[in-house]
Chain A
Amino acid sequence: MSLLTPVLSAHWDEKDSFTIEGYKRNGGYQAAAKALAMDPDALIQLVKDSGLRGRGGAGFPTGMKWGFIPQGDNKDHYLVVNADESEPGTCKDMPLLMANPHVLVEGVIIAAYAIRAKNAFIYIRGEVTHVVRRLNQAIADAYKAGYLGKNVFGTGNDIDLVLHIGAGAYICGEETALLDSLEGFRGQPRLRPPFPAIAGLYARPTVVNNVESISAVPAIVTNGAEWYQSMGTEKSKGATLYSLSGHVNNPGQFEAPLGITLRQILELAGGIRNGHKLKFWTPGGSSTPLFTDEHLDVPLDYEGVSAAGSMLGTKALQIFDETTCVVRAVLRWTEFYKHESCGKCTPCREGTWWLVQILRDLEEGKGSEADLQKLLDLCDNIMGRSFCALGDGATSPITSSIKYFRDEYIAHVKGRGCPFDASKSTLFAEAK
C-alpha cells in the first residue's frame, strides 16, 4: 500500500484514537508545544514553505492567508475553522473529527498562536451530533490538560476555542456567510472587499480555514516543511484525504499524496462494484464538473483536475456506474442547490428554481431538445453572474453532464421518459 501516506488517518484503526490519551500516545500535542516556543512569524513562514493549500475546495495557500492578517494593529484577531461540511458527496472532515478530533484542536492552537488570535471558533454543521459530542469532549479534555484556556502550555498565551453548531444551511460553508451566521445573523455571503483577513468576524481580522487544512499543520510543525513538500506534485504539495463513495467495492477515506489518479485509488478500493463499469464521477463534490472514464488517469491535484476541466474541490470522489441515469443524478443535485440557495442574489435564487423545473420535465420525458439549449443558456446566465460560488456550483453538474451525456438527455426526450431502471443503481442486491 505504498501509494497511501496516512498522516491524519494514521491511527484511525486504534480503538481509542479519538481520546486525548490515544492522541498523545502517538505524539499528540508535541507539535503545539514546539510551535508555541517558536516565533509566530516563523510559523507562518513554515506553513508557507510547506506549500499547504486550503483543503476546503479552493486550494488557496494557507500560509499566505495567515500572512494577510495585519500584525501589530491592536485589534483582536480570530481564527475560524470551517467544519460546515455539507457538499453532496463530501465526507472527509466528519470522519476525521470522529476518529481524530485532537489533531484539529492541536492545529487550532498552533494556527491561533501564529496569527495572534486569542479566540478561535469551530463552526460545525448542526446535523452531525455525534461529531459535535466527540469534538466537545476533545475540547474539554484539551482545556483540562491546559492546552486551551489561559496560559496554554505554560507559555503565557491565552487561546479559547468555541465550538459553534450551525443550523444546517449549505450556504454557511461559504466563509463570509459562515461569519454572519457565527455572529448570530442569517447566513448570507458578504460583499467583498473587505475580505475576512481585514474585517471578518465582528469586523476584525479573521482567518477562515477548513478542518483538514488546520489539521495538517501539527504534522508540518513536527516534520518540517521539507517533509511536507516531499509529497505531492510541483504546485500541489502534501497529502490529503480522498473520499471515495458510490458504486465501489470498498468506499472510504484514502489519504494519499496529491496527484494520485482515480485509477490508482480504485485499485486500492477494490474497483467498481462487481460486474459494472465506471460511467461518471465527481472529482470534488457535486459542485465540480463531472468526469467520465476518460479521466481515470487525471492527476488528482489542483492543476491536473483544473486542466481537465473540473476542480479538485473537496476530493469527494463519487463514483457512478453504468446503471445510473445521469439526468436523474443531476436533477437531484440541482434540487439540492435550489433548496440551499440562500436567496440573496437573483441568478442563483431564481436560476435554480427554473433549472429544477426544466430538468424535472426532461427526466420525466416532458422536455424537448430545445430545453437543452435553454438549460445551457440559463447556466451561462448564472455561472459567474451570481454573488458567490453556490450559483456557479449549481451549474457545474448540468453543463458537464450535457457535455458528456447529451445523447442520454436526448434519449429521455425521444423515449418520453427515463430509459433507466432506477432500482438498478441502488446498492441493493439485484433480484434474481
Chain B
Amino acid sequence: MTTLANTATEVTPVEMITVVIDGFEVTVPKGTLIIRAAEKLGIQIPRFCDHPLLDPVGACRQCLVDVEINGRAFPKPQASCTIPVEPNMIVKTQLTSDVADKAQKGVMELLLGNHPLDCPVCDKGGECPLQNQAMSNGNAESRLTGYKRTFEKPINISSQVLLDRERCVLCARCTRFSTQIASDPFITLNHRGALQQVGIYENDPFNSYFSGNTVQICPVGALTGASYRFRARPFDLVSTPSACEHCASGCDMRTDVRRGKTLRRLAGDDAAVNEEWNCDKGRWAFKYVTSVDRLSQPLVRNAEGILVEASWPEALAAAAAGLKGKRAAVLTGGRVTTEDAYGYAKFARIALKTNDIDFRARVSSAEEGDFLAAKVAGNFGVHYSNIDSADQILLVAFEPEEESPIVFLRINKNFKKHGLKVTSIATKGSIAMDKLKADFIKVAPGSEAAAVAGVALTAKSVILVGERASESAGLISAAVALAEKSGAKLAWIPRRAGERGALESGAFPTLLPGGRPVADSAARVDIAAAWGVDSLPATPGRTTHQIIEALGNQELDSVVVGGVDAHDLLHSGKALNALKNSFVVSLEIATSSITDVADVVLPVAAITEKSGSFLNWEGRARSFDAAVSESLNRSDVRILSALADAMGESIMLGTVSATAREIAQLGKWDGARAPFVPVAAGSAPSVSGDQAVLTSWRRLLDMGTMQRGEDNLAGTRRQTVAVISEKRAATAGVATGDQVRISNANGSITLPVLVEDIHDDAVWIPRNSFGSQALTALDAVHGELVTVVKA
C-alpha cells in the first residue's frame, strides 16, 4: 500500500523579504506578518486574537512591537499580527524594546483586570495561553483593585458549547472562525465596552457542525465543551496522536486519556489535510467506546440457542468449527482500519478460500465495483491541494458538509479566498450549497447522469464523486467520461473512514491487496507467493448484496461479519433473516442486531484502544496508536489471525504492526487493470398524483452507531424533515411545518415538511435520522417511487 510521497504541484516562486527582528535577520515570503516572521526566529510575541488561519483583526493589542521602515520609526508601537513585513523593516519586540515590553505588560494587566482568578477550577488552567503569557509577559502583581465585571455563568450557546463570559478576553477568534472558516455566522459579539460578549441570535443556537473548533482555539476558558467541562486537568491527561474514524476526510487528531478513559479529542495540526480543524462528530462522538452495550467477553450460542459468555479458546474453537470446510464469506464495513481490512481480506482468501468479501456495507452497484477496481484502487492522484488550486469543483452525488466536512471546509476556503466556482448535481439544494453559492443543477432522482455531460470543466477542475453515485445508474460512468473529456481530476469520496483502506487492502470481491485484480493470474501468483500459499481462489467473489442473497438461498453456509450494521444494508430485514439461518461469526465492539443473530461473537477493540491506520479519500495514510494503554489492542486482525490458527489455516498476522509491515512490503500493483465498462445513463421514474421519487442522504449527525452516548452532540443535529418543492407542497396541500407521510409497500415515515429547493418530482428525507430511517422503514433510499400525502 502507499502513503503519499511529495505531491508535485505547481510552485510559483514568491518574492522573499528580509527584515531585522531584535537584531537578527530573517527572510520570509512577501505578505508574511511580523508576528509570524518573528516565530521563524524563535521569538515568541505574546498574542490572543492572532490565529494563523484567521484574518488579522488587531483587537487584543497584546502583540505590540516597535517598527521602523527605511529609518522612519512608527510613532507608537504596532500590532505585529496585522502588519506584513516590508523591505528595510526593523522590528524590536519586547526583547529589545522597553516601549514594546511596557506596552505588552500594560495590555496584559488590563486583560487580567476583568479576568476572574478561577484558574484552579477552570478547564483551561494548565494549557491556557492567557495563563502562560501572563507568566511570560505580564507583571507579577496587578494594580487594579476595584470591582470586576461579572456575568451569570455559564450559558449554553448550544447543547455542547458553554460560555463563561467573565473569562472571555474578546479576541473574536470564535466569531471569526464561525464566519470565515465554517461560514456559520451563528455567534457574534454583542453589547459594547467591557460588557461586550459573545452571543447567539435570539432563536438560533450555535448549531454549527464545526462549533468545537471554537472551544479549541479559545485562548482562555471562556468556551468549553459540555462533555469535557470539569472532567480533568490538562496535566493529568495522557495525549496520543490519533486519526479520526468517522469519515474519509482523514483528520489528524489528538486523543486525551485520563486513567484509561478517553475524555477529550482535539483536532490535530496537519496543513495538508485538516489544517487545524475538525468537525463536531470527530471531536465529540467517542462515547460509543464506553457505552453500556460494549462487548468485553466472547459469546457462543449454546445448545438452547442462547448466547452465553465463553472463554476465548472456546469461542475460537466454536467459530472455527462453523467455518472450516464450509462455504463461507466475509462481510466487513467501511469502519475497519486498513490493517483490519487486510486481515479480513487475507482471512477470506486463505482460511475461507473465497473471494466472497466486500467492504461496501451499504447500497452499492456493479458499476461502482468496476469503477473502484479500474479507476480508484491504486490511484492516488487527487489531493486536498487540488481543491485549493481548482478553478471549479463539480460535486456529484456528494454533499460535502454532511458527508466529508473537512472537504467542505477546503472547498469553502478556496471559495472565500478566490471565489471558486462550485457546481453541484443533486436532487436537492442544501445549506452548504448556499454557503458556497454553488451552481445547483437540479435533477430528478435517477436522472443525474444525463446532467453531468453538460458541465464545462477544465484540466484544473476537480470532480468529487460521492459514494451515493452508485445509487443512480450511469452516473459514475458519466463522471468518468466528463473527466476524460475535460482533463479534470476525478476523486471518489466515500463516507466512511475505512472504505478506501479496505479497497486497497483487497477486502473486495474482484481485488486482492494493492489493487491486484483477482482475475489476473499473475496478480494471484504475486500474492500467493507473498502469503506462502500454493494458490488463491480464482473466481471473482460475491458482492455484499450477492453474499446476503447467497446466504438466504443456502448457497453459502457461514459468514464472518465485522464492523457492519444491518440497518446500513438494503433489504435489512431479509439480510438479518438470512444471517439468522446461517452460521455467523461476528467481530464487534458492542451488541447489535447482527451480534443478536450471531453464533459466535468475538469482542474487538474500538479505535482509541488499538493502533492502526485509515486511508482517507486521497489515499493518504492516517495512522494512530492506541490511546488507551490499558486495552489489549485487540484489533480485528489479531482475532482473525487467532481464528485462522484455530482453523489450521494460519494468516500470520499476530499484531497490527506486523500487518502494516506486510502491507507495505506487498506494494501496489503495476500490471494492467480491468477496463472500466461504462453503464448507460439511467432515468427517473415518472410520477403521477401523490407519487414522488425518493432521495436521501445521511446527515453528519444522525443515528450513526458511533454517535451513541453523546447527547450534547446530538442536541445540535439538524431537524429531521421531509423536503418537497413548493409546487408539490401546493398540490399536497401542505406548508412548512405540516406533517406528511412518505410510504411505499414496505412501510411509511411521517415527518414535518420543509418546503425547499428540490426537484418537483422528488421527496428528500434524511437517511438515518431519528424518525427517518429510510433503509429500515421503506427499504429504499434513492430513485424509487413512494407516495407523499398530508398526514
Which residues of A are in contact with B by a Cβ distance under 8 Å? 169, 171, 186, 191, 338-347, 349-354, 357-358, 361, 374, 377-378, 380-382, 384-387
Contact partner, A345, options B59, B106, B143, B144, Cβ 8 Å: B59
B102 beta carbon closer than 8 Å to chain A: yes
* Distance to closest chain A CB from B557 (angstroms): 69
Kindly supply a per-residue 1/0 record for chain B positions 171-204, scoring 1 wherever the CB is within 8 Å of any chain A CB and 0 otherwise.
Answer: 0000000000000000011011111100000000
B59 touches A385 (CB 8 A): no
Q: Within the assembled complex, what's the spacing in Å between the Cα atoms of A227 and B188?
A: 51
A385 touches B56 (CB 8 A): no
Q: Within the assembled complex, what's the spacing in Å between the Cα atoms of A4 and B685?
A: 87
* Distance to closest chain B CB from A201 (angstroms): 19
A350 touches B61 (CB 8 A): no
Contact partner, A347, options B102, B110, B146, Cβ 8 Å: B110
B60 proximity list for chain A (CB < 8 A): 345-346
B128 beta carbon closer than 8 Å to chain A: no
CB within 8 Å of A: which B60-115 residues: 60-62, 64, 75-77, 82, 102-103, 106-107, 109-111, 113-114
B170 beta carbon closer than 8 Å to chain A: yes
B541 beta carbon closer than 8 Å to chain A: no
B57 (CB) vs chain A CBs: closest residue: A191
B193 touches A354 (CB 8 A): no
Q: Within the assembled complex, what's the spacing in Å between the Cα atoms of A350 and B108?
A: 10
Q: Within the assembled complex, what's the spacing in Å between the Cα atoms of A347 and B64?
A: 12
* Distance to closest chain B CB from A9 (angstroms): 35
Q: Within the assembled complex, what's the spacing in Å between the Cα atoms of A357 and B169?
A: 20
Contact partner, A186, options B61, B103, B189, Cβ 8 Å: B189
Q: Within the assembled complex, what's the spacing in Å between the Cα atoms of A349 and B194?
A: 5
A358 (CB) vs chain B CBs: closest residue: B146
A352 proximity list for chain B (CB < 8 A): 193-194
B195 proximity list for chain A (CB < 8 A): 343
A380 touches B114 (CB 8 A): no
* Distance to closest chain B CB from A404 (angstroms): 24
A342 proximity list for chain B (CB < 8 A): 192-193, 196
B109 touches A353 (CB 8 A): no
A-B contact pairs, 26 of them (CB 8 A): A171-B192, A186-B188, A340-B192, A343-B170, A343-B191, A343-B192, A344-B170, A346-B60, A346-B61, A346-B107, A346-B110, A347-B61, A347-B107, A349-B193, A349-B196, A352-B193, A353-B113, A354-B110, A357-B146, A358-B146, A380-B102, A381-B103, A381-B107, A385-B76, A385-B106, A385-B107
Interface centre among B61, B82, B111 (most CB of A within 10 A): B61
B191 (CB) vs chain A CBs: closest residue: A343
A374 (CB) vs chain B CBs: closest residue: B143
Q: Within the assembled complex, what's the spacing in Å between the Cα atoms of A191 and B170?
A: 16
Given the interface contacts A191-B56, A349-B170, does A341 sit within 8 Å of B194 by beta carbon?
yes
B147 beta carbon closer than 8 Å to chain A: yes
A353 touches B193 (CB 8 A): yes
Given the interface contacts A344-B59, A346-B169, A349-B170, does A381 sit within 8 Å of B147 by beta carbon?
no
A350 touches B146 (CB 8 A): no
B111 touches A346 (CB 8 A): yes
Contact partner, B192, options A341, A347, A380, Cβ 8 Å: A341
Q: Within the assembled complex, what's the spacing in Å between the Cα atoms of A47 and B697?
A: 64
Contacts A186-B188, A343-B191 known; list 20 others, CB within 8 Å: A341-B194, A342-B193, A343-B189, A346-B60, A346-B62, A346-B111, A349-B196, A350-B110, A350-B113, A353-B113, A353-B149, A353-B194, A354-B113, A354-B146, A377-B106, A380-B102, A385-B77, A385-B103, A386-B61, A387-B59
Q: Within the assembled complex, what's the spacing in Å between the Cα atoms of A377 and B146?
A: 17
A385 proximity list for chain B (CB < 8 A): 61, 64, 76-77, 103, 106-107
A381 touches B113 (CB 8 A): no
Q: Within the assembled complex, what's the spacing in Å between the Cα atoms of A97 and B102?
A: 45
B102 proximity list for chain A (CB < 8 A): 380-381
B115 (CB) vs chain A CBs: closest residue: A350
Kindly supply a per-residue 1/0 record for chain B positions 484-519, scoring 1 wherever the CB is within 8 Å of any chain A CB and 0 otherwise.
Answer: 000000000000000000000000000000000000
A340 proximity list for chain B (CB < 8 A): 192-193
A347 touches B106 (CB 8 A): yes
A171 proximity list for chain B (CB < 8 A): 192
B58 beta carbon closer than 8 Å to chain A: yes
Q: Within the assembled complex, what's the spacing in Å between the Cα atoms of A48 and B9?
A: 51
For chain B, give the interface size range: 35 or more
Contact partner, B58, options A169, A191, A349, A361, Cβ 8 Å: A191
Q: Within the assembled complex, what's the spacing in Å between the Cα atoms of A343 and B61?
A: 12
A339 (CB) vs chain B CBs: closest residue: B193
B193 touches A338 (CB 8 A): yes
Q: Within the assembled complex, what's the spacing in Å between the Cα atoms of A378 and B145?
A: 13
B192 touches A381 (CB 8 A): no
Contact partner, A381, options B57, B106, B149, Cβ 8 Å: B106
Contact partner, A350, options B57, B189, B194, Cβ 8 Å: B194
B196 proximity list for chain A (CB < 8 A): 342-344, 349
Kindly supply a per-residue 1/0 record for chain B positions 125-147, scoring 1 wherever the CB is within 8 Å of any chain A CB and 0 otherwise.
Answer: 00000000000000000011011
B62 (CB) vs chain A CBs: closest residue: A346
Q: Within the assembled complex, what's the spacing in Å between the Cα atoms of A381 and B60?
A: 13
B149 proximity list for chain A (CB < 8 A): 353
B170 proximity list for chain A (CB < 8 A): 343-344, 346, 349
* Distance to closest chain B CB from A333 (angstroms): 15
* Distance to closest chain B CB from A395 (angstroms): 12
* Distance to closest chain A CB from B622 (angstroms): 37
Q: Within the assembled complex, what's the spacing in Å between the Cα atoms of A381 and B195?
A: 20
A378 proximity list for chain B (CB < 8 A): 106, 110
A341 proximity list for chain B (CB < 8 A): 192-194
B64 (CB) vs chain A CBs: closest residue: A385
A351 (CB) vs chain B CBs: closest residue: B110
Q: Within the assembled complex, what's the spacing in Å between the Cα atoms of A164 and B196?
A: 25
CB within 8 Å of A: which B353-377 residues: none
A353 proximity list for chain B (CB < 8 A): 113-114, 149, 193-194
* Distance to closest chain B CB from A112 (angstroms): 30
* Distance to closest chain B CB from A125 (angstroms): 16
* Distance to closest chain B CB from A204 (angstroms): 17
Q: Within the assembled complex, what's the spacing in Å between the Cα atoms of A273 and B272?
A: 74
CB within 8 Å of A: which B23-74 residues: 56-62, 64
A381 touches B110 (CB 8 A): yes
B57 proximity list for chain A (CB < 8 A): 191
* Distance to closest chain B CB from A431 (angstroms): 36
* Distance to closest chain B CB from A368 (angstroms): 11
* Distance to closest chain A CB from B31 (angstroms): 13
Contact partner, B76, options A186, A346, A374, A384, Cβ 8 Å: A384
Q: Within the assembled complex, what's the spacing in Å between the Cα atoms of A341 and B107?
A: 16
Contact partner, B194, options A191, A343, A384, Cβ 8 Å: A343
B147 proximity list for chain A (CB < 8 A): 357
Which 6 pairs show the lowest CB-CB distances between chains A and B? Answer: A381-B106, A343-B196, A384-B76, A357-B146, A350-B110, A341-B193
A387 touches B110 (CB 8 A): no
Q: Within the assembled complex, what's the spacing in Å between the Cα atoms of A387 and B297?
A: 63
* Distance to closest chain A CB from B59 (angstroms): 5
Q: Within the assembled complex, what's the spacing in Å between the Cα atoms of A415 and B107?
A: 33
B169 (CB) vs chain A CBs: closest residue: A346
Q: Within the assembled complex, what's the spacing in Å between the Cα atoms of A358 and B170?
A: 23
* Distance to closest chain A CB from B422 (angstroms): 22
B192 proximity list for chain A (CB < 8 A): 169, 171, 340-343
Interface centre among B56, B113, B192, B196 (most CB of A within 10 A): B192
B74 (CB) vs chain A CBs: closest residue: A384
B109 proximity list for chain A (CB < 8 A): 381
A346 proximity list for chain B (CB < 8 A): 59-62, 107, 110-111, 169-170
B60 (CB) vs chain A CBs: closest residue: A346
A187 (CB) vs chain B CBs: closest residue: B192
Q: Within the assembled complex, what's the spacing in Å between the Cα atoms of A165 and B56?
A: 30
B146 proximity list for chain A (CB < 8 A): 354, 357-358, 361
* Distance to closest chain B CB from A299 (angstroms): 24
Q: Within the assembled complex, what's the spacing in Å between the Cα atoms of A346 and B63?
A: 12
Q: Within the assembled complex, what's the spacing in Å between the Cα atoms of A351 and B77?
A: 17
A357 (CB) vs chain B CBs: closest residue: B146
A338 proximity list for chain B (CB < 8 A): 193-194
